[in-house]
Amino acid sequence: MLENLALLVVPIAQRRSVDRTEEGAGDMPGYPKSGSHSGDPVALATVTRLGAVSGFPADLTPFHQGGSGSPLVLLHGFTMSWRAWFPVLPYLSAHHQVFATTMAGHRGGPALLADGEQGAAALADTVCRQLDEAGLDTVHVAGNSLGGWTALELARRGRARSVVGISPAGCWQSRRDIVSLLWKFRVGLGAVSNDRLRRVLMTPVGRRAWLRRVAERPERIPAEDMAGMIDDVLGCDLVPHLLGSSRTVQPMEPLDIAHCPIRIAWAEYDRVISFRRFGRPMQDKIRGGEFITLPKVGHVPMYDNPRLVARTILEVTRAVDESTRSGVSAGRRAGAGTRRSA
């Protein structure tokens, strides 16, 4: 979210126009052949909604837990919190026991580790401890941006039944790409820490300018939700650790899809980490993973189209759960046949 604030303090003459050509839309993966991501309301009709979205949670809690079914962990992006998933929760909770957690070093989440690197691997270690405390061995995991990278690290540790990464961080085409990205975050931090600029951000024009980088439909994000997002930015203890590591931060290591099914869904209008600069290198790191495009949404698409995001996740988790149930049933039939033979 900090990256968006750079737009408010960098002179217009220094900005490059952001269009689909620059963002690498021509190089993006296609939509699934089923057409389920076309935005067609008929295609999305099988996504059940449980309850209503009443507004951004006022209480600062470290996680949200609800729903029933196989366990699903949701991981947010850098400087955000579990509340980023709020619009999607009613759709996912109808099918899963959902555990949306605020990651270590973020406002309301666990404290950072006392020593060692504070990257996606360390965040994944903290989530593993949370799973242990909850008595969960393996879970479905969905993550956005930094949360997507952390989800992939959970797969590497054998804790994921499936992973859906939504515009996940973790790879870049050149060192210049990650240095530029972190510089924009630094500029954004300076802006959001300024009382006068923060007041500008809360005006309709300022709010749209900030949110336009992460959402294709910024008008769908209420002012009170944005106020909570700004508080999340200001309360993120991970910021100085991550922003001070541009010379040492390393991309993710290659990941074998034998760990679990992996779907990478890139936002078509991602203006934070474009597919050309950050997504294509990930294709080389996750050989055999499924790469698709989420149409007409921005980097944080949960407000743009919550039903589309939910279906993108549920298509994977349902397939894995059905396969697991089929395997258990086949095993029981085989066992029964062995007992009869005996």
What positions carry a catalytic annotation?
145, 270, 299
Radius of gyration of the chain (CA): 20
Strand partners, 74: 100, 142
- Decide: helix, strand or coil at residue 156: helix
- Give the CA diameter of the chain: 82
Going by the DSSP 8-state scheme, the letter that residue 111 receives in this structure is: P
Q: Which amino acid is at 156?
A: R
Contact 101, 82 (CB under 8 A): yes
| Beta-sheet strands, E only, within the chain | 63-66, 70-75, 96-101, 139-144, 160-166, 262-267, 290-294
Contacts of 16 (CB under 8 A, 6+ apart): 22
Cβ count within 10 A of residue 155? 25
The Cα-based distances of 313 to 15, 196, 335 in angstroms read 35, 40, 33
End-to-end CA, the chain: 64
Burial class (CB in 10 A: 0-12, 13-18, 19+), 223: exposed
